[in-house]
Amino acid sequence: MLGDDKKIILTGDRPTGRLHLGHYVGSLKRRVELQNSGEYDGIYILIADDQALTDNADNPGKIRDNIVNVVLDYLSAGLDPDKVTICVQSALPALHALTFYYMNLVTTARLSRNPTVKAEIQMRGFADEGLPAGFFTYPVSQTADITAFNANVVPVGEDQLPMIEQAREIVEKFNRIYGETLVLPKAVIPENETQRRLPGVDGKAKMSKSLGNCIYLSDTPKTVKQQVNGKMFTDPQHLKIEDPGHLEGNVVFTYLDALCTDRHFADYLPEYSNLQEMKDHYVRGGLGDGKCKKFLIQVLEETLSPIRDARSRWESDIDAVYDILNAGTKRAQAVTEETLSRVQQAMRINYFEDRTIVKEWEKMLKEQKNL
């Protein structure tokens, strides 16, 4: 199949805020591993500022500010600009053109069925206020993002699976109508179930800025401690240490499921050799929430403190960050323009590449006259 000879990754984020632990365990960590695997011919990370505008049209300043926050989070988490191309969506006009063509290959009925978009429409109150057409159609623009880079691998969080499904349908339709042109993408989601969907510290399904239930990669140790000790939901029936504890919905254990390894026990809590032993003790009774939280904070800090240190180094050189973004975007321009030109060729709307169309038009006009 087209693109089988190369392994190319495209993924991205909307720059609507700083990245949090949910982003880290759900995708960022994986990206760094993929980057270091040396198995890929190209890795592109898109800062989807145009997509972010589809529900922030009145606040472009917020998006502008968060572009730098997201790049800082990327670099601090270990994405290496020598190995990955970080680029800005709005500076890639080929994506807009592709979106416009793909828009004709999907029905409004199909777009209405996208479960992630449906949930987002509810969450944002668009169902009552009126739904911006740009927001409704962003899965089409996301298809443009993916196909423009010829990506066959798209590492994303679970909530993005419907987007990749739609992208695949559009690609198949395009190739059927215009000939084999676009690479069929595949989603890759984390294997560990809790990593796919890390809840907020309060136990709500998702970390969200408005709920104040996030742990940001750039949070200070003090804030992390406050979020865990002050807000993290455990087991409301576990009042005394001796009481038997429950694990379902217990966020401390959900986070440990996502983050801790046996080695963390050896280093910080050697009375257990693994998480199962700790859980068994908690369920039996006799293990207090305070001790569990203290361990979780140690595990969290092991992940967060190198990221935090790297961020403070990058923050002192925003010029360098700008240059990385600029250079990445230039490389991305070349790749996406190339795809657009292949697409226009496949659709035979590449009128001004050469004058072959003149001969064709002449022939057609002659035939028209003889009819």
Residue 154 makes contact with ligand TRP by CB under 6 A: yes
**Cβ atoms within 10 Å of 104's Cβ, excluding its own:** 12
Residue 79 makes contact with ligand TRP by CB under 6 A: no
**Cβ atoms within 10 Å of 329's Cβ, excluding its own:** 19
Backbone phi and psi for residue 267, each to the nearest 5 degrees, phi listed first: -80, -40
Which of these segments, 139-147, 170-178, 245-253, 271-279, binds ligand TRP (CB under 6 A)?
139-147
SS3 149: coil
Q: What's the closest the beta carbon of residue 221 comes to ligand TRP, in angstroms?
A: 27
Among 13, 49, 219, 289, binds ligand TRP (CB under 6 A): 13
Q: What's the closest the beta carbon of residue 64 comes to ligand TRP, in angstroms?
A: 17
What's the rounded Cα separation, in Å, for the pair 220 and 308?
8
Which secondary structure element, helix H or strand E, spans residue 186, and what is its range? strand 186-188
Residue 190 makes contact with ligand TRP by CB under 6 A: no
Which residues are bridge partners to 154 per DSSP?
A: 187
Residue 46 makes contact with ligand TRP by CB under 6 A: yes
Q: Which of residues 256-285 bind ligand TRP (CB under 6 A)?
A: none
Residue 48 makes contact with ligand TRP by CB under 6 A: yes
Among 69, 76, 142, 147, binds ligand TRP (CB under 6 A): 142
Give the residue among 147, 148, 120, 157 at the shortest CA–CA distance from 136: 120
Which secondary structure element, helix H or strand E, spans residue 13, and what is its range? strand 8-13
Cα end-to-end distance, the chain, whole Å:
42
Q: What's the closest the beta carbon of residue 144 comes to ligand TRP, in angstroms?
A: 9
Residue 12 makes contact with ligand TRP by CB under 6 A: yes
Residue 11 makes contact with ligand TRP by CB under 6 A: yes
Residue 283 has which token pair? 């369920």
Q: How far is CA 43 from the centre of its chain?
A: 14
Residue 145 makes contact with ligand TRP by CB under 6 A: yes
Which of these segments, 10-18, 102-110, 127-135, 288-296, binds ligand TRP (CB under 6 A)?
10-18
Task: Name the residue type at position 264.
Answer: H
Among 9, 19, 21, 51, binds ligand TRP (CB under 6 A): 51
What's the rounded Cα separation, in Å, for the pair 217 and 360?
59
Which residues are bridge partners to 250 per DSSP?
A: none
Q: What's the closest the beta carbon of residue 33 comes to ligand TRP, in angstroms?
A: 17
Residue 14 makes contact with ligand TRP by CB under 6 A: yes
Which residues are bridge partners to 44 per DSSP?
A: 10, 85
If the CB atoms of residues 50 and 235 are measured against ligand TRP, the closer one turns out to be: 50
Q: In the complex, which residues of this chain contact ligand TRP (CB under 6 A)?
A: 10-14, 46, 48, 51, 142, 145-146, 154, 156, 160
